[in-house]
Chain A
Amino acid sequence: MSALDLQGNGKKLDLPVLTAKDFASEQEVRWCPGCGDYSILKQVQAVLPELGVPRENIVFVSGIGCSSRFPYYMETFGIHSIHGRATAIATGLKAARPDLDVWIVGGDGDLLSIGGNHTLHLLRRNLNVNVLLFNNEIYGLTKGQYSPTSPVGFVAKSTPYGALDYPINPLALAVGAGGTFIARAMDRDVKHLREMLKRAHAHKGTSFLEIYQNCVIFNDGAFEDFTEKDVKAENDLFLEHGKPLIFGKNNDKGIKLFGLKPIVVDLTLPNVSKDDLWIHDENDRTKASILTRFFDEPGSEHYMPRPFGVFYVEERFCYENAMLDQLNLAKQKGDGDLDALLRGKETWVVS
């Protein structure tokens, strides 16, 4: 019998009722005043008590960057690791300990630039973990260089003449990599964010949740088109499974598909009906792929609103479970016998 029971045999303890406060560590939070990270931290701490997972079974793993300080502020297990590798460490942890509830927190630089490769492979392996991508389109901790999600032409410390890199579209990448849960939220819409956190956690597989997060110091207002009261209704498209794609201040705009081409239609016109609109289907990868391409600059020609919500969900086996199945299958033929292994097939005796 191993010293560690990996089967986890699901022993349920009588859990005391926990509150958000119970998930806050004693560490002083050291993000800049006004940073979007505060809101995300607060929503995570608010959601965790509702999930029914014992605190000691939760592990937050992060890399390097402002957002990667996250684990220090959580009264759970946590690893603040090295740049870009949270996904790889979490993969090993979850594969070794399927019983744990593993969350990965990282920024756009961490998860998409230096750690881009691991993110790709985590998504295709589909371990049952939750990835929270804090996207602020900037390198904050190193004081303001453009990031892989910054737009072309972005002027930052390392790009006084404007960035030349075409930005990564994180959710399109996630679809391409075979992600099984793909969603977007923002720091300022806390109710929606909480809902997305819960859905991400409920999904069995790698949940990839991009969260637009405002860097108040180096990239303030990067997402104001989507977060500010006066404009957001015109720019935000909230996805709901089975519901038509409708947006606009008066819910007066809809999205229709012509073949694979989406167009915005005016629902106030007499010949346009809600029945003709694109009905969101979370399980349709092709449509999800189109939705991730709604990535235009607000105000540009043929502008499509930015979608928020769950783009895509797929049920697929999780790596760590399949790994365990293989082990159990092998063990059906009998547990490994160390003496037999060391002895091998042929021996001889020297006397």
Chain B
Amino acid sequence: MSEVKNRPLHVETKQDVTILFAGDSGDGMQLTGTQFSETTAILGNDLNTFPNYPAEIRAPAGTLAGVSGFQVQFGSKEIFTPGDKIDVLVAMNAAALKANLKLLKEGKIIIANVDGFDAKNLQLANCKTNPLEDGSLVKYHVYAIEIGKLTRMALEGTGLGTKEIDRSKNMFVLGLLFWLYNRPMDYAIKNIQEKFKKKPEIAEANLKALQAGYNYGEATEVFTTRYEVKKAQLPAGTYRHIMGNQATAYALIAASKKSGLPLFLGSYPITPASDILHELSKHKNFGVKTFQAEDEIAAMCAAIGAAYGGCLAVTSTSGPGMDLKEEAIGLAASLELPVVIIDVQRGGPSTGLPTKTEQSDLLMAMFGRHGESPIPIIAANSPADCFNATFEAARLAVEFMTPVICLTDGYIANGAEPWRFPTASELPDFKVKFAAPRNPNDAPFLPYKRNENGAREWAIPGTKGLEHRVGGLEKQHETGNISYDGENHELMTKLRAEKVEKIANAIPLQTIDNGSSKGKLLVLGWGSTYGSIKTAVRDLRDEGYDVSHTHLTYLNPFPKNLGELIYNFDKVLIPELNAGQLSRLIRDKFLVPVEQFNKVQGMPFTVSELKEKIIATLNQKEK
């Protein structure tokens, strides 16, 4: 940095920027993206991220299948999505460029690692000619940089092998982007030092590469413009950066604290839900017991055992795991024990698309068990909202003595955003009262006697005088004794359903998120589509379209006023990342025609495709 030339450097202010870091799955793009995002968050920009990677841990290097990407949109306005189109494409090799070029806006930036465009890489990416040289990229600003070579030069004399040195090239990119978008490096430096605490030589190499990337931007005349993105005008408060699965885990710990119940997680590793297990396993000082079970069934069953014993019991999984757990979820419904079931949805059926997102487990959550077995369902709508949804799932489970399914998905579980986190005292306590001990002369204990919520008492072992038996066989009303009586079965079926319906009294009414409460078109969403719909409706309203947005957190039961709210609109449009699951539920419940908008490409909706659909729906002639 000794001779920084005084050169004319243009600084351009941007409202929002979308960057896609793309490379081989081994290129460290996820780490680069995460570090860039965290620094950006701390700087006060609003942001939303979207890690998108292949299911294979190390897919064939250099191929299109092996491309791993991390997309981040940040800005000085409120940001609800990772962005449709990108402003900067970082391409570590030819495959990364080829796979993502269609996302790049015309006239925008490509930062290409020249070393990743050699004959071998071009061949692996099925490129007949080198796009960096064949003139095919004239519509873009291409910065072809020998990132590999420059990193090697920067790390000369560190004594590290070529392999380790090459692994640091992602840090060169990070440094360069920090320079380009005018971000300080201290937070990243601290993080790298911590991450490689036990390998100081690796930490040093990474820091050198980082600095080299920054200096490259500063010292060379390649770049003539630097960008500035001012702080976002977010609601006042203290913020942090949070990922969805992390928020889910924190919510469970918070719910444990606020209910006074020890937390027990039974889980089996599955993409994209495993991070919940990982995160909770770290927090044993909160008294959290995590149990990695032998399979999905055991994970759910262990949670049932823990719930029976008086814990806040949880299991976390994704679609294939849900399939396996359903019988046991039915048992929990029949035993009327509280269990929180987190389903981080992914593309299905079967193994499907393990690392890609979908909202296709809604009907399974509703109807996935044999017999009449209604279960409350809650869905999170953003990474930070995973906290609210999970906390609420725990509250309802305990207050209504029922399993509750909490739906998130791969997109928000791995995505991140700034979070105005609550303090412990802001979170509500929720009442837990176990059944009291009894004396021999007291009236016999009735395990299935219900309170005004329709919930039975939580009678945990170790309580004197409460010895009783529960099971999956139909139970006699109140006594809980086995009963095969038809009329009793009908009564119990009704009582279990009524209990779930009564939850509607314990949840907030549905509100319009954006727009007027009457009008031509209501866009009704649920879950992770929130950000895209919010942005699309906001933009269209700015353009003068008569469209409103409401977003469901509670899928079963629906908020009490949902029908009323829907009837106030001429049309309802339901965008979902499935083949129309909420649409079916809404039609069935409210007998309204519903316009569907469905996508199952493993990717979230783009704002532009939503806008197109909304405009088309508004323009539709009545049939």
- Known interface pairs A54-B464, A88-B293; A71-B239 also in contact (CB < 8 Å): no
- Whether the pair A71, B471 counts as a contact (CB closer than 8 A) is yes
Bound CA span A92–B240, Å: 34
Picked from A78, A333, A334, A349, the residue with its CB within 8 Å of the CB of B469 is A78
Residue of B nearest to A71 (CB): B469
- Known interface pairs A56-B467, A59-B461; A95-B306 also in contact (CB < 8 Å): yes
CB of B8 within 8 A of chain A?
no
* Smallest beta-carbon distance B526→chain A, Å: 26
CB of A286 within 8 A of chain B?
no
- Whether the pair A341, B44 counts as a contact (CB closer than 8 A) is no
- Whether the pair B238, A348 counts as a contact (CB closer than 8 A) is yes
Which residues from A are CB-within-8-Å of B240? 342-344, 346-348
- Whether the pair B461, A346 counts as a contact (CB closer than 8 A) is no
Binds B, one of A2-10, A251-259, A271-279, A294-302: A2-10
Binds B, one of A96-104, A164-172, A217-225, A233-241: A96-104
CB of A289 within 8 A of chain B?
no
- Whether the pair A27, B481 counts as a contact (CB closer than 8 A) is yes
- Whether the pair A88, B298 counts as a contact (CB closer than 8 A) is yes
* Smallest beta-carbon distance A8→chain B, Å: 8
- Known interface pairs A59-B461, A342-B422; A331-B287 also in contact (CB < 8 Å): yes
CB of B108 within 8 A of chain A?
no
Bound CA span A220–B289, Å: 46
Chain B 468-493 against A: per-residue CB contact (8 Å), 1 yes, 0 no?
A: 11111100000001100000000000
- Known interface pairs A97-B310, A336-B286; A121-B294 also in contact (CB < 8 Å): yes
Which residues from B are CB-within-8-Å of A158? none
Bound CA span A270–B250, Å: 76
Does more than half of chain A's interface fall in helix, strand or loop, or is it mixed? mixed
* Smallest beta-carbon distance B483→chain A, Å: 12
Which residues from B are CB-within-8-Å of A343? 238, 240, 421
- Whether the pair B471, A75 counts as a contact (CB closer than 8 A) is no
- Whether the pair B469, A323 counts as a contact (CB closer than 8 A) is no
- Known interface pairs A81-B301, A339-B424, A349-B239; A93-B469 also in contact (CB < 8 Å): no
* Smallest beta-carbon distance B77→chain A, Å: 13
- Known interface pairs A79-B470, A92-B303; A341-B253 also in contact (CB < 8 Å): yes
Which residues from B are CB-within-8-Å of A351? 236
CB of B423 within 8 A of chain A?
yes
Residue of B nearest to A93 (CB): B305
CB of B533 within 8 A of chain A?
no
* Smallest beta-carbon distance B38→chain A, Å: 7
- Known interface pairs A54-B464, A326-B284; A94-B305 also in contact (CB < 8 Å): yes
Q: A56-B467, A338-B286, A339-B424 are in contact. List 16 more A-B contacts (CB 8 A).
A: A3-B432, A56-B462, A72-B471, A81-B471, A95-B264, A95-B302, A95-B306, A121-B293, A329-B284, A336-B253, A336-B283, A336-B287, A341-B250, A343-B421, A348-B41, A350-B233
Please name 15 pairs of A and B residues whose Cβ atoms are closer than 8 Å in the assembled complex, sorted by A: A2-B262, A58-B461, A79-B308, A79-B335, A82-B327, A85-B301, A88-B294, A92-B305, A95-B302, A97-B462, A99-B462, A117-B294, A327-B284, A333-B285, A344-B240
Partner-A contacts on B (CB < 8 A):
38, 41-44, 187, 231-242, 250, 253-254, 257, 259-262, 264, 266, 283-289, 291, 293-295, 297-298, 301-306, 308-311, 313, 327-328, 330-331, 335, 420-424, 432, 434, 460-473, 481-482
Partner-B contacts on A (CB < 8 A):
1-4, 6, 8, 13, 25, 27, 54-59, 61, 64, 71-72, 74-82, 85, 88-97, 99-100, 117-118, 120-121, 323, 326-327, 329-331, 333-336, 338-339, 341-344, 346-351
